[in-house]
């Protein structure tokens, strides 16, 4: 079974974004956003230890509150500055709402 063209393009974009993001991320974790047809998955990842610190799953209608939830969890862990990883998705719609929610929650990226 082969991947369709859309998945291949997203994987290429994600690899390109990751290559740029990994420069200078020792002091700040990465917020990774993935989406399905129903839900938005937001994870806080520590790339130094290669571990997921925290995560959140919400429906796509609650994307902004997912960003606010992950921001609250990150601030409790002592992180004010993070790096936003859109996982190869284009920055509009649900991905943009998550980013805006994280900014409203007090995170800087």
Distance CA 34, CA 60 (A): 11
Q: Which residue ranges form the domains of the chain, and what is each CATH number? A: 5-104 (3.30.420.100)
Q: Which one is predicted more confidently, 25 or 10?
A: 10
Q: Which pLDDT tens digit goes with each residue over 57-93?
A: 999 999 999 999 999 999 999 999 999 998 889 999 9
Q: How confident is the model at residue 22 (pLDDT cuts 50, 70, 90)?
A: low
59 pairs with which residues across the strands? 39
């Amino acid at each position: 079974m082969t991947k369709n063209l859309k998945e291949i393009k997203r994987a290429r974009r994600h690899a390109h974004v990751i290559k740029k993001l990994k420069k200078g991320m020792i002091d700040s974790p990465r917020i990774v956003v993935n989406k399905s047809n129903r839900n938005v998955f937001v994870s806080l990842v520590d790339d130094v230890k290669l571990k997921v610190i925290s995560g959140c799953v919400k429906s796509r209608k609650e994307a902004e509150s997912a960003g606010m939830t992950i921001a609250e969890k990150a601030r409790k862990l002592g992180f004010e500055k993070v790096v936003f990883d859109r996982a190869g998705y284009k920055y509009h719609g649900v991905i943009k709402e998550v980013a805006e929610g994280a900014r409203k929650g007090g995170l800087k990226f």
